[in-house]
Amino acid sequence: WVGFFYSEKFPRIRIIRGPEKYSKENLFLGPFTDKKEITRILRDLRKIFPYCSCKKRVKIKRRPCLYYQLNLCPGPCIKAITEEDYMQNVKQIELFLKGQTDELKEQINEKMKNAAQAQSYEIAGFWRDKLQAIDNSTISQSVLLDRKENKDIIGYFKDEDQKYIAMVIIHIREGKITNKSSFPVNIEDKIVKKKNIFPSILEQFYQDLTHNLPDIIVIPEIYDGINLFREILIEHKSDLKIRLPLAEEHGLLRIANKNAKVMVDQEIQMEKIKKKEENKIQEALEEAKKILNLPKIPRIIEGFDISNIEGTDATGSMVYFLEGRPYNKYYRHFNIRTKSTPDDVAMMKEVIRRRYTMLIENNFTLPDLILVDGGKGQLNAGYSVLKDLGIEGIPIIGLAKKFEEIFVPNEKNPIILPKNSNLLKIFQRVRDEAHRFAIKLHKKQREKRVKRSVLDDIKGIGPATRNKLLKKFGSVNEIKQSSVEEISEIVGKKLADTILKELNN
């Protein structure tokens, strides 16, 4: 049986012999006749939806177990996951074991769509990978073949427009399904004739597996170029066969084809969502041109922010947005040189001056719009620098966080866009990204300063020597009170003399 211990705050999942002795608040699925098989299924599911399998109920600890380090447990014992998120993982495993994989995949598909619509493509990819992992596990539960053969069964699907193709290869070794390989292909990205795409993809896949080829490759139909593909593989394995499926193989072929279709559908869906988002961005940039009375559509936007604590470790950041999207190749950090007191306006002036002096001197492309994080003070600081440099023709705006007001030079009243405005969302993203990037360097600078020791200022002492001294004596104060002889055990007499002189001065 598989036990779901719902009587606990963070329900564990465990394989048990009999449910009779446990509370009725818990859920037990089974019985499963093959313990090895259900153990394998749970092991695969755990990689997709991590859960706790401890012998005793979850208690708060200082250090997690090995399963947490392996990403197989989300760490409820160290509060690394919320109760809600943990329960979601457990419920999804329950759905899978009840055979409700369509419902489970529907839920994940919805999350993938939502992430893509929010332009969080990494998160969307994360959910897409989970879908594919579930497909892997589902295939692995299919009926296995009687004969202990080593073969690959290849599923294949292309959309009506013949723009997308997906291929799924089910790997059978010793009569058991051991793995699944799957990959979508955008034909428009491939320099290959469409009629030869199938053998071309196969050749690409198998060229790295020539040392581990199966005995048989089962293909859904005969394609142009397949004979050439066979000749290439036969050079590495003379008895290899490439053939159409036998009657007993049609079931697995259908599963492979179905999985390939799902992949194509997902790619088309993602493309539609991306296209819709692209249209929104273009409309928003055109709106910016009208509302801000810009000379052209702001395809290049550069955003600036300052980060400091009471003037210390002050840093500036510049982020670069191309066609409404971040382009981090052109991001820049600035260590503030001119101010050690908290004066964001003066710091903003310095950063903008350094940035555009460099662009002008090197004859680099200037942006279509500059956005500074802040209100009139930061905006006027930036505008005055542009005038000094003779490039006041570059539009500049300030976005103040409190009321999301947009300030424009020489205008008394700010522009206020609706909260759901796509243009406001772009400006907010530029501002927030500049803020995030500034804080990133500021933290590094602060950590570097905190870690720095007075020993670093003594000539002849590097990080390794400093660490040896601190390890032996415990602190700078202890070194100061030590004798030359004691210190010279680590660094030699001459440097020991220097250290004591410097510390006591």
Domain parsing of the chain, residue ranges:
2-99, 101-133, 142-267, 300-438, 454-504
Residue 32 CB neighbours (<10 A): 15
Distance CA 409, CA 396 (A): 7
Confidence at residue 144, expressed as pLDDT on a 0 to 100 scale: 44
Residue 136: predicted pLDDT: 59
* Model pLDDT, residue 143: 42
The CATH code belonging to domain 142-267 is 3.30.420.10
Pick the CATH number of 300-438 from 3.40.50.920, 3.30.420.340, 3.90.1010.20, 3.40.228.10: 3.30.420.340
pLDDT of residue 138: 53
Query: What's the pLDDT at 195?
Result: 55
User: Cβ-count burial of 448 within 10 angstroms (0-12 exposed, 13-18 middle, 19+ buried)?
Assistant: exposed
DSSP conformation class of 415: B
345 Rama class: left (phi>0) / alpha (psi -120 to 50) / beta = alpha
Domains 142-267 and 454-504 share a fold: no
Q: Residue 66, CB half-sphere, CA atoms under 13 Å: how many?
A: 0
Half-sphere exposure of 39 (CA within 13 A, CB side): 4
Element (H, E) at 440: helix 422-451
Pairing outcome for strands 396-400 and 405-407: antiparallel
Which residues pair with residue 172 across a beta bridge? 151, 177
| 232 phi-psi bin (left φ>0, alpha ψ -120 to 50, beta other) | alpha
pLDDT tens, residue by residue, 169-185? 888 877 777 677 777 77
Omega before residue 31 within 30° of 0, cis? yes
- Which CATH fold topology does 454-504 show? DNA polymerase; domain 1 (1.10.150)
- State residue 231's pLDDT score: 86
Residues of the chain with pLDDT under 70: 30-34, 37, 99-101, 126, 130, 132-148, 162, 178, 186-196, 210-211, 309-313, 339-342, 442, 445-454
Helical ranges in 72-118 per DSSP H: 83-97, 101-117
